[in-house]
Amino acid sequence: MHKILLAIALSLSSPHLIAAEPTEEVVSFKCSLAIDAAFRAMDKQTDNKVTQEALSKIDDSNGEFVCIYAGEKKIFVRLQSTDMDPLDNKLLFTVDARTYAVVKTQFGR
């Protein structure tokens, strides 16, 4: 019985059997949840002048959410258009990484 359990444990820990890096999957999942939170917050902030300013430059056809940082405490999600330059102002959401609630929204670089 111990030999079978050892064989299973060794096969599961073998790097050849792992399909993707676990950290990549976690970051991707964290980012998708943070983007969802930013999307919901943006819908609630339509009267916000910061959101209105950003949406005057970004629309449904050219807008994209980009997860630019996913840490243990905060996740930063940016809403930008596909034709923006790096120096253009963008809508930035700061998301709490534990609750996936947007804690701050700002428009800038």
Q: What is the pLDDT of residues 50-79, one digit of tens each?
A: 778 777 878 778 888 889 999 999 999 998
**Residue 25: pLDDT band with limits 50, 70, 90:** low
Which residues are CB-contacts of 85 (< 8 A; sequence separation ≥ 6)?
Answer: none
Alpha-carbon distance of 94 to 101, in angstroms, equals: 9
> Which residues share a beta bridge with 104?
94
Domains present along the chain, CATH in parentheses: 21-108 (3.10.450)
pLDDT the model gives residue 85: 79
Of the two residues 64 and 19, the one the predictor is more confident about is 64
Of the two residues 14 and 33, the one the predictor is more confident about is 33
